[in-house]
Chain A
Amino acid sequence: GENVEQHPSTLSVQEGDSAVIKCTYSDSASNYFPWYKQELGKRPQLIIDIRSNVGEKKDQRIAVTLNKTAKHFSLHITETQPEDSAVYFCAASKGNTDKLIFGTGTRLQVFP
């Protein structure tokens, strides 16, 4: 079955710097790659997603890139702010009836 690995497990940056989180997946048939943000004590919420027919997607300060050949995808956050501090999860799934598998998460801390 699908396996999703995520790195790093923790990431500390200064406010205004960029942050990059990377994930790799094992099943080449996977075609949907969402990213979720979970603030302390809250539920995970979708922040951006990308499908396998697209190489890059942006939404204001966040962007996701996908390299199907290498089977990896990355989350990029620019101009980080303290409110970006949270745990971020990547995930992957494929086709109809298939499961959504998550990575182990990255705890991002943005220091003022």
Chain B
Amino acid sequence: DAGITQSPRHKVTETGTPVTLRCHQTENHRYMYWYRQDPGHGLRLIHYSYGVKDTDKGEVSDGYSVSRSKTEDFLLTLESATSSQTSVYFCAISQGAGTEAFFGQGTRLTVV
């Protein structure tokens, strides 16, 4: 498996609190992605990064922000968590557009 680690793996948080999920890679891949997976919606792109400090919005970016201050870490922040953000979050990495994306183990987030 590619060297990609998500933390935490599980989290329960209250509505209105900020939450940060971390994706860490040891592969030195340029691209990093955050997806959420919900029944009936598949994998939806939240934000992605194509280099240090280079990020862009995905399909469902409202309520989320990201930061990438170094190659190996990509942070996803829910500024004020809502119940609609209860989901499984996957981080993925790839060497570039048009190459295989490797996924992390996923983070199950529950907002109560």
Contact = CB atoms under 8 A, between A and B. Distances in A.
B15 to A, nearest CB: 27
A102 B43 contact: yes
Q: Chain B contact residues (Cβ within 8 angstroms of A): what range? A: 20 to 34
Interface string B43-65: 11100101000101011000000
The winner among B44, B96, B97, B98 for most chain A CB atoms within 10 A is B98
Interface residues of A, number: 26
Contact of B43 (A89, A95, A97): A89
A98 interface: yes
A101 B48 CA distance: 11
Interface string A85-112: 0000100011111111111110000000
A6 B58 CA distance: 19
B33 interface: yes
Contacts of A89: 42-43
Interface of A: 1, 6, 9, 31-32, 34, 43-46, 49, 51, 89, 93-105
